[in-house]
Amino acid sequence: MPEPLPNITPRILGIDPGSRITGFGVIDIYQGKPRYVASGCIRTTDVTLEQRLAQIYAGLGEVAGLHRPTYVAIERVFMAKNPDSALKLGQARGAALVCMANLGFAVNEYSPRQIKQAVTGQGGADKTQVQHMVSAILRLSATPQADAADALAIALTDGYVRSGLAVDTASHRPRRKTGRWRL
């Protein structure tokens, strides 16, 4: 008789890219519910852009090696008012994508609006609302730093999508495509 397959708990790494601060958040989906694993920030030193990108690449490689995610998700670049800032953000995002690709991960991408919608129910939510909802959903004892909270929100969004959740744009509430869902 074949051995039963092990109970695999999906682990999701969320990445909030930035050229100065890149947030990361790791959650498990255990019995259909998100559970906090880790979060933090990769803070680059004030060196050249190329060196900061290398620090992002190395830092995310270390995070992935330590936490061994099943899935990876990242925030999609949005057009900022400052083209130079948008370009640097895109380069930091590129470093993260190349790192994950070299580690063999396919990466799901979500827009800032999709992430806010999934976590707070409002696509225009501010960072404070995202931090509060991430803390509440994951039952954290302290509020994570903004970039880490954003990364956790990205991981939660990916978890909701993988669990078959969709966002009902009429009521602005996450819902399961069929049946009910719970946190």
Q: Which of 37, 11, 8 is nearest to 159 (CA)?
A: 11
**Looking at 28, 147, 150, 158, which residue is catalytic?**
147
Q: Is 75 a catalytic residue?
A: yes
Q: Is 62 a catalytic residue?
A: no
**Looking at 28, 75, 150, 158, which residue is catalytic?**
75
Question: In whole angstroms, what is the distance from residue 57 CA to residue 105 CA?
Answer: 14
Q: Is 147 annotated as a binding residue?
A: yes
Q: Is 46 a catalytic residue?
A: no
Annotated binding site: 16, 75, 147
Annotated binding site for Mg(2+): 16, 75, 147
User: Among all residues, which ones are annotated catalytic?
Assistant: 16, 75, 147
